[in-house]
């Protein structure tokens, strides 16, 4: 398990970032999957704020977990997820994704034992204009036996 000092040192870590092309067919299929209407596809489903950000932050989830000395087999869980849109995204547009780790805390609970709560924020820009923000938190279980301490 990484030390609390190491954990804190990850705050501010900047993701490599990348570009995301919002393919019209992906919007159509997403609408179909989640039961949204497909009769007006000038605007993309709001969840593309999440899909674009996570897809193009520049590291895979497994690589993200590795930054915190964990793998998906450690039972990493989603804590909270947030999307904020300044304006609707559009199928056919290309967006630039950037972001960083914004907080990291070591905590204890009866259910999870010792765990680390890591927050990160990803920004979505188009032509230097901020379009949306995706904020997420992951829970990294560390030592279950600590729960009884």
Partner 1 sequence: MRQNKPSVGFEFPPYVVGTVDAEKMKTMAALLQDPNPIHWDVEAVNSLGLGSRPINQGPNNMAYVANALISWSGGISNFRGLKVRFLDNVYAGDHLTVIGSVTDVDHVDDGDLATCEVQLVRGTVDSGDIVMAGQAVVLL
Note whether 103 binds partner 1 by CB under 8 A.
no
Note whether 76 binds partner 1 by CB under 8 A.
no
Tokens of 65: 């977990």
Instruction: Work out how close the CB of 121 gets to partner 1 at its nearest, in angstroms, rounded to a whole number.
Output: 12
Residue 148: exposure state from Cβ atoms within 10 A (0-12, 13-18, ≥19): exposed
Which residues are CB-contacts of 45 (< 8 A; sequence separation ≥ 6)?
27, 30, 31, 34, 36
Binding mask 8-27 for partner 1 (x = CB under 8 A): ------------------x-
Note whether 30 binds partner 1 by CB under 8 A.
yes
Note whether 82 binds partner 1 by CB under 8 A.
yes
Note whether 51 binds partner 1 by CB under 8 A.
yes
Note whether 79 binds partner 1 by CB under 8 A.
yes
Instruction: Enter the DSSP assignment of 88.
Output: -
Q: Identify which of residues 4 and 66 has a Cβ nearer to partner 1 in the complex.
A: 66
CA distances to 39, 72, 99 from 60, rounded to whole Å, are 33, 11, 14
Provide the pairing of β-strand 94-109 with 18-21. antiparallel
Note whether 53 binds partner 1 by CB under 8 A.
no
Provide the pairing of β-strand 94-109 with 113-126. antiparallel
**Residues within the interface to partner 1 (CB under 8 A):** 26, 29-30, 32-36, 43-47, 50-51, 55, 72, 78-85, 87-88, 135
């Amino acid at each position: 398990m990484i030390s609390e000092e190491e954990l804190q040192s990850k705050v501010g870590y900047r993701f490599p970032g990348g570009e995301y092309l919002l393919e019209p067919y992906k919007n159509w299929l997403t609408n179909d999957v989640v039961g949204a209407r497909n009769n007006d596809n000038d605007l993309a489903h709001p969840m593309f704020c999440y899909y674009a950000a996570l897809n193009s932050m520049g590291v895979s989830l497994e690589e993200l977990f590795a930054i915190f000395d964990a793998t998906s087999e450690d039972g990493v869980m989603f804590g909270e997820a947030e999307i904020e849109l300044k304006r609707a995204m559009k199928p056919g547009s290309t967006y630039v994704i950037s972001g960083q780790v914004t907080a990291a805390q070591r905590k204890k609970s009866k259910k999870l034992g010792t765990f680390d709560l890591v927050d990160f924020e990803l920004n979505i820009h188009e032509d230097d204009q901020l379009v949306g923000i995706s904020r997420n938190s992951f829970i990294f279980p560390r030592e279950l036996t600590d729960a009884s301490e």
